[in-house]
Amino acid sequence: MYFLTGWPRRLLCPLKSEEQPFHVQPSSQRFYFAVLSETQLSVWFSRPSVLIVSYIESAKASSQFGFYQQAEWKQDDSMIAVAAANGYILLFDVVGGGEDKYLYEPVYSKGRRGVKVTPGYKEEQCAPALSLEMKRPMDLEAPITSMLSLQEDLLVSTADGYLHILHWDGISNGRKAISLCSVPFSLDLQSARGGLCLDLKGVYIRDMTYCVTLDGFAVVLNDGRLGFITPLANRITADQLQGVWAADVTDGTCVAVNNKYRLVTFGCASGSVLVYSIDTTTGSMQLSHKLELSPKHYPDVWNKTGAVKLIRWSPDYSVAMVTWECGGLSLWSVFGAHLICTLGEDFAYRSDGSKKDPINISSMSWGAEGYHLWVITSREETELVENMEEAPAQTQQAGILQFHFIKSALTVNPCTSNQEQVLLHGEDRLYLTCGDPAQLPSSSSESPHPHNLPHGGEGSPSSNSTSQGLSTLLGYKHWHVVQIHSTYLESNWPIRFAAIDTAGQCIAVAGRRGFAHYSMSTRKWKLFGNITQEQNMTVTGGLVWWKGFVVVACYNFIDRQEELRLYLRSSNLDNTFSSITKLHSETLLLNVFRDMIILFRADCSICLYSMERRHDGPNPSASVELLQEVSMSRYIPHPALVVSVTLTSVRTETGITLKAPQQACMADSIILNLAGQLIMLQRDRSGPQLQEKLPFCPPVVLAQYVENVWTTCRSNRKKGHLLEALWLSCGEAGMKVWLPLFPRDHRKPHSFLSRRIMLPFHINIYPLAVLFEDALVLGASNETVLYDSLQGPREGRESLEGLFPYCTVERTSQIYLHHILRQLLVRNLGEQALLLAQSCAALPYFPHVMELMVHVVLEEEATSREPIPDPLLPTVAKFITEFPLFLQTIVHCARKTEFALWNYLFAAVGNPKDLFEECLMAQDLDTAASYLIILQNMEVPAVSRQHATLLFNTALEQGKWDLCRHMIRFLKAIGSGEMETPPPTPTTQEPSSTGGFDLFRNRSISLSQSADSIAAGKFNLTKTFSMPSGPSAKGSDRWSKDSDCAENMYIDMMLRRHARHLLEHVRLKELGCFSAQLGFELIGWLCHERTRVARVDDFVMALKCLHKDFLWPFPVIPAGSISSPFKNGHRRTVLSQHLLKSQSADSLLNMDTAPPQAVARNSNHTWLDRLGALGPTEMDTALSHGGPQTQEAFLSPLTNKTEECSIGSATDLTETSSMVDGDWTMVDDNFSTLSLTHSELEHISRELANKGPHKSQVQLRYLLHVFMEAGCLEWCVVIGLILRETTVIKQVVNFLDSPEVPPETVQSVRSGLLGVDAWASTDCLGYKPFLNMIRPQLQKLIETSVEQIQPEAFLPGASNSKLAEPQPAGPSAEDSRGPVLLGLALPLEPPGGLGTEDGGVPEEQEEQAVDEGAYDCTLS
């Protein structure tokens, strides 16, 4: 509502004086302030805050009259009355300086002229020169205790118990005195006629004030009793006064009245403020509420403040400022919402923790429109904070502080309550919460705020508008600050009204005269081009935006006429572009509902107008038509009591009994806030249905103590509960919502059920806006920053920056949905709660809402000292089970609650073991892990271990590696007796434990071997099969160092069992991930399992599984090229022989056992296959050996082609160079030319299509390396087949010659390859070319076997008929699926270095591999 901002400002007094000011009194319009010191009366101006004139009493007169005590202004600011200590009233005339005499004038910069157009224009922006003339003093012959200014009279109370009525002229008609004893006082007006009266002998009035709307005087008597005196006739005479007094109060100290809400506030010696209302029927004083500091928020000062010294209501009567004898300031809203207090936090403590003395205040007053609070500190305070800077000797600082405030636009322009933005205005700037400008959808001026678009026009919900609005309204924590145009401010200060449009893009402000508006998109203000038009109107009833028009209710000074005007935003601000409707009476309030305007007028009538936007000219125009007038004078005692007026579609029957659904959008009710009472007038639809002119039913009171009302004109069937509700802010009581109750599934409603229900709930912020669909309340709060450490105290005095913290205003928001759901459940309206919750289940913070509801109920019930007869927690638990996030909600709430409350919680929601098992069944492993921590604290270790094992196995099966790592630590912690604390966060693993899958993500692994790796066909099997050494040994150490621990053995057993399970089901990809993520020693384990589970029983099935697992397409060949492998065969052989000679010195493999023809062919294909993967060094080595010229001509084009086709670095060569793998159609007579023919391009594209994703290729090569290391030769053959690597097959066949290889392995490889060949001949002809290339190896295997295989099986003349048959797992299926699945990536993100599990790679080879971008994994 009101928020303190910045530091207070100290006002300098230019006159030298030893006296300190102690009293400040504002004029009626608060433009002038009378400041009193003992013998001096000064008048200050408000803007600029400067001293205008000072009257200093002579010593002689001062001794006669006594020191000044208090002052009062006449209503028209023409006179000041000053009460002196010896019972004198001194009257001063305030005389103006004439037409052109100004004390201060603005000085403009060069080239800028001050505008002087209209008479009186200059005095608006200058401080006038005034003089004070003393008239004849009046002696009342008794000390004066209180003064009060009425219209023509001055009311003065004296210490002898008399009430004096003086005329302001001081001469005419003399004066009347009324004895207080002659005024009858009673508890109410009914008992006053013959009942007991108060004895007032020797009693006088200590403080009094007049309430216009109650037409009476609130008084505090010197014995502390409180009273209210009502004149029974127009004139105040002794026999026409009647008083009522408040029972049981005897410690009153001061009084203030709130004219807008008809409240009388009394300060008490106890430190609390009592707020009374006057009962309209009996006239008695009813205690409404109290304003007091709570021990909850201010435990150290709540009862140590001393008596209340002063109460001051703001000019708009929305907040009250209170100060006490012991000092301090505190701000409350009308109905007791506490906003600011300077007795705690940074106001009371320095940054080093030492306590500050509270500021002691002798007098205070609000400035114009409540933007400033003028405070006069007591004498000691003034001396303490006197010098902020070294002041010149001739100036003396007056002890006047100015506190600066910004306030909500709702305080004076309540029509902004139907917006969903917070708008605050200070004296020269605006604060908006319309979100981050960068997040707005467009910079054009026409684009509305995304959050406030009508959901699909007529209420169909839009999918993304809510989330967009949330991001702009919540995700952006700063205010958007707009400086009000200085030209407008100079002549029209103070700003009285401000309004923002629904989209949050346009703002309008109105000051003393005219108005101006601002566009957020263009960042520009629009002012009246004609200054005369601006100065000839003043906004009286507020302003509001409607469809690009500013709607203002104003008074026209030239025509002396009240008018309703609509100005088009996009055109110039000029009366020619406005629509003007003449009104009969002054407008006090206005509001807009869809295309209707509602006006509340000073004659207590309500007018309804319809508006229509027209496009008949070059600019859009608006036409306004009167629909209906409704007189409310029977119900409204005074027009100033109406706080807000709203037109709404809310009604009591919520659309259930309505026949036509379109009526749901009609303006069905008028809602008035009458001095805090919410009154609703509904249309009477029982009689004849006249178009738009329906009579209204008698008013119904909906609620009391209402400060603000929010409603919306939007509709959305899915969120009817929230959009058709009425939201109320009720001060200290929090908020209330008038919620509609809908029958479920369109059933007929129960006759005994109400159509609506009023639900109260408390929130922690002061609400300023309601986001209806998002179930959020937006607000603002004061925050403070200490800067006292920047400047130390100077000569015992502290600066203002040291005494006061710097105040800022923060945006706040709060969820309220859980409060409403809980209130519905308390009232056994679970069905309505379910409907409401289901409509909001898509909100991003809905899980948080559920947690909050469980948490609040649990805290209340579990910590209650008294037994609860009807606990709510079981109901809440049952309610949450309706939603899929039930399990998460319970466990998150439990983990945020202290352990002592867990038993109560799980007694209501169920056994945590059962909930754990439900999570496992629902495959929600993360939630199950949270329940495991609950079980660890509530059950014995054996139960935790059992459940942890279950979860560990499930996590392994699902590949949740992070969870697996947590579970390993958890199980170890249980084993080592660390049950008390949950497992700590995982530590960073050493590089070796990450395995190869992450390391090789962007690396190629080349399986070519250097010449010295295998010595002339000898194969050191024992070394290959030994456990790895080197870097990977650390990983095995990690598992083996605690092997004596039973838990570690238990975990290892589970890990090995899972690895066995994966290998049995041919899930190699998961096996690789498992090894890499959990640091499982795969090579060592495979060595042990080589003759058991690491065998391949069915090569064809394994090949198919790998194709599917790694998204690898089956190879495909065109129908016309079945015989092409032997086309130009002679040419290839000759070339290959040349190649073989050229690299015989460093041959990759010793092929002595193979026939020369086969060796030549094989080496040709091996070399072709490896060409693309060779690094620059290997390529240079291959080319540096001399040879025939034909060989060089043959090599160059291939190298160029490879370079042309390769993209990126050498890292990608393995993927892009696959065009030459197993090349059996490219070599022809024109092979040495540089150009690529059409058929060659086709072949290249086909070969690329036969390759799988690069990531899969890297992973397969890594697995091949692992299986090679472990000696699992069958798996090497399978992976060699899918990669179509002839090198691999050759290596394996050579290894099979070694005596260490068991004969079962030789037999398995032989039968497996034959099986693949048979399957390829019938089902997958794409493999035939590759099988033909490895034919010599097959032949070699067959020759060494006892059983002879017919060579016809390897002939290329396979049946063509099989090609046409559809293959279930064929290339077409893979190709169609390939692009979709290509983006799948393994979830591998463990930290890692460059260590591999290959322990035997020499260092120089590793360095070379890094340089080349490809790993050479060699056999050691």
Predicted confidence at residue 301, as pLDDT, reads 79
The answer on pLDDT for 181 being more than 90 is no
Predicted confidence at residue 1034, as pLDDT, reads 41
Instruction: With cut-offs at 50, 70 and 90, classify the pLDDT of residue 1227.
Output: very low
Strand order in the sheet with 40-45: 23-26, 32-37, 40-45, 51-56
How far, in Å, CA of 1396 to CA of 993, rounded?
A: 9
Q: How many C-beta atoms lie closer than 10 Å to residue 794's C-beta?
A: 13
Phi, psi of 516 (to 5 degrees): -145, 155
Q: Which amino acid type is present at position 1037?
A: D
Predicted confidence at residue 1235, as pLDDT, reads 59
The answer on pLDDT for 121 being more than 60 is no
Q: How many helices (H) and strands (E) does the chain have?
A: 41, 60
Three-state SS at 1053: helix
Instruction: With cut-offs at 50, 70 and 90, classify the pLDDT of residue 908.
Output: very high
Residue 1151, CB-side half-sphere exposure with 13 Å CA sphere: 26
The answer on pLDDT for 572 being more than 50 is yes
Predicted confidence at residue 481, as pLDDT, reads 94
How far, in Å, CA of 1060 to CA of 1085, rounded?
A: 9
Percent of the chain with pLDDT over 90: 44
Residue among 991, 42, 798 nearest 354 (CA): 798
Q: Please identify which residue in the block is written with the tokens 């290729």.
A: 1257
Mean pLDDT within 361-382? 87
Instruction: With cut-offs at 50, 70 and 90, classify the pLDDT of residue 1302.
Output: confident
The answer on pLDDT for 1088 being more than 60 is yes
Mean pLDDT within 969-976? 83
Mean pLDDT within 1085-1091? 88
How far, in Å, CA of 291 to CA of 274, rounded?
A: 7
Instruction: With cut-offs at 50, 70 and 90, classify the pLDDT of residue 1154.
Output: very low
Residues with Cβ within 8 Å of 723's Cβ and at least 6 positions away in sequence, in order, are 712, 714, 715, 716, 772, 773
Element (H or E) spanning 227, and its range?
strand 226-231
Lowest mean per-residue pLDDT among 603-617, 641-655, 947-961: 641-655
The answer on pLDDT for 591 being more than 90 is yes
The answer on pLDDT for 1399 being more than 90 is no
Q: Cβ distance 287 to 273 under 8 Å?
A: no
How far, in Å, CA of 1297 to CA of 1017, rounded?
A: 8
**Burial zone of 856 (CB within 10 Å; 0-12 exposed, 13-18 middle, 19+ buried):** middle
Q: Cβ distance 328 to 346 under 8 Å?
A: no
Predicted confidence at residue 125, as pLDDT, reads 66
Can you state the percent helix, strand and coil of the chain, rounding each to 5?
35, 25, 40
The beta-strand segments (E) located in 23-175 are 23-26, 32-37, 40-45, 51-56, 68-73, 79-84, 88-96, 102-104, 127-128, 130-134, 138-139, 144-149, 153-158, 162-167
Element (H or E) spanning 1054, and its range?
helix 1046-1064
Q: Cβ distance 494 to 369 under 8 Å?
A: yes
Mean pLDDT within 60-81? 93
Three-state SS at 778: strand
Q: Cβ distance 1157 to 1133 under 8 Å?
A: yes
Largest CA distance in the chain: 145
Phi, psi of 126 (to 5 degrees): -125, 155
Three-state SS at 153: strand
Predicted confidence at residue 204, as pLDDT, reads 92
Lowest mean per-residue pLDDT among 89-103, 575-589, 644-658, 677-691: 644-658
Predicted confidence at residue 1208, as pLDDT, reads 34
For 537-587, what is the HEC assignment? EEEEEEEEEECCEEEEEEEECCCCEEEEEEEECCCCCCHHHEEEEEECCCE
Higher-confidence residue of 579 and 1221: namely 579
Which alpha helices (H) appear in 94-148, and where do they start and end?
A: 121-124
Three-state SS at 342: coil
Q: Cβ distance 1085 to 1035 under 8 Å?
A: no
- CA angle in degrees (0–180, nearest 5) for 328-333-336: 85
How far, in Å, CA of 533 to CA of 554, rounded?
A: 12
Predicted confidence at residue 100, as pLDDT, reads 65
Mean pLDDT within 107-131? 63
**Token digits for 586?**
């002054």
Instruction: With cut-offs at 50, 70 and 90, classify the pLDDT of residue 336.
Output: very high
Please give the distance of CA 270 from its chain centroid, rounded to a whole number. Answer: 42
How far, in Å, CA of 1230 to CA of 1234, rounded?
A: 9
Higher-confidence residue of 1356 and 79: namely 79
Mean pLDDT within 832-852? 92
Q: Cβ distance 359 to 378 under 8 Å?
A: no
The answer on pLDDT for 661 being more than 70 is no
Strand partners, 543: 552
Instruction: Kindly write down the DSSP assignment for every residue of 174-207, as one continuous string.
Output: --EEEEGGGS-EESSTTGGGTS-----TT--EEE
Q: Answer left, alpha or beta for residue 457, where phi above 0 means left and psi between -120 and 50 means alpha.
A: left
How far, in Å, CA of 1163 to CA of 1287, rounded?
A: 9
The answer on pLDDT for 755 being more than 90 is no
Lowest mean per-residue pLDDT among 32-36, 253-257, 414-418, 543-547: 414-418
Residues with Cβ within 8 Å of 1386's Cβ and at least 6 positions away in sequence, in order, are 997, 1069, 1073, 1255, 1259
Across 8-17, 298-307, 807-816, 1036-1045, which has the greatest mean pLDDT? 807-816
How far, in Å, CA of 491 to CA of 125, rounded?
A: 5
How far, in Å, CA of 485 to CA of 518, rounded?
A: 9
Instruction: With cut-offs at 50, 70 and 90, classify the pLDDT of residue 985.
Output: very low
What is the pTM assigned to this prediction?
A: 0.76
Q: How many C-beta atoms lie closer than 10 Å to residue 751's C-beta?
A: 5
How far, in Å, CA of 594 to CA of 574, rounded?
A: 25
Across 317-326, 375-384, 454-463, 1305-1314, which has the greatest mean pLDDT? 317-326
Mean pLDDT within 875-894? 93
Predicted confidence at residue 1365, as pLDDT, reads 39
Classify each residue of 37-65 as buried b or exposed e, where b means 16 or more C-beta atoms within 10 Å of its C-beta: bbbbbbbbbbbebebbbbbebeeeebeeb
1119 to each of 286, 1116, 1123, 1325, how far by Cα in Å? 101, 9, 10, 10
CA dihedral 196, 200, 204, 206 (to 10 degrees): -40
Lowest mean per-residue pLDDT among 32-41, 469-478, 586-595: 469-478
Element (H or E) spanning 1241, and its range?
helix 1238-1249
Three-state SS at 1081: coil
Q: Which amino acid type is present at position 622?
A: A
Length of the chain: 1420
Please give the distance of CA 351 from its chain centroid, rounded to a whole number. Answer: 30
> What's the mean per-residue pLDDT of the chain?
77
Three-state SS at 222: coil
Higher-confidence residue of 721 and 1266: namely 1266
Classify each residue of 682-707 as buried b or exposed e, where b means 16 or more C-beta atoms within 10 Å of its C-beta: bbebeeeeeeeebebbebeebbbbbb
The answer on pLDDT for 279 being more than 60 is yes
Across 451-455, 620-624, 751-755, 1124-1128, which has the greatest mean pLDDT? 620-624
Residue among 1276, 1400, 1402 nearest 1020 (CA): 1400
Instruction: Kindly write down the DSSP assignment for every residue of 483-539, as one continuous string.
Output: EPPHHHHHHHPSP-EEEE-TTS-EEEEE-SSS-EEEETTTTEEE--SSHHHHHTEEE
Predicted confidence at residue 437, as pLDDT, reads 43
Instruction: With cut-offs at 50, 70 and 90, classify the pLDDT of residue 747.
Output: low
Higher-confidence residue of 1004 and 335: namely 335
**Token digits for 55?**
């009257």
**Token digits for 1027?**
């456990």
242 to each of 200, 280, 832, how far by Cα in Å? 13, 15, 52
Mean pLDDT within 868-892? 93
Predicted confidence at residue 788, as pLDDT, reads 76
Predicted confidence at residue 688, as pLDDT, reads 65
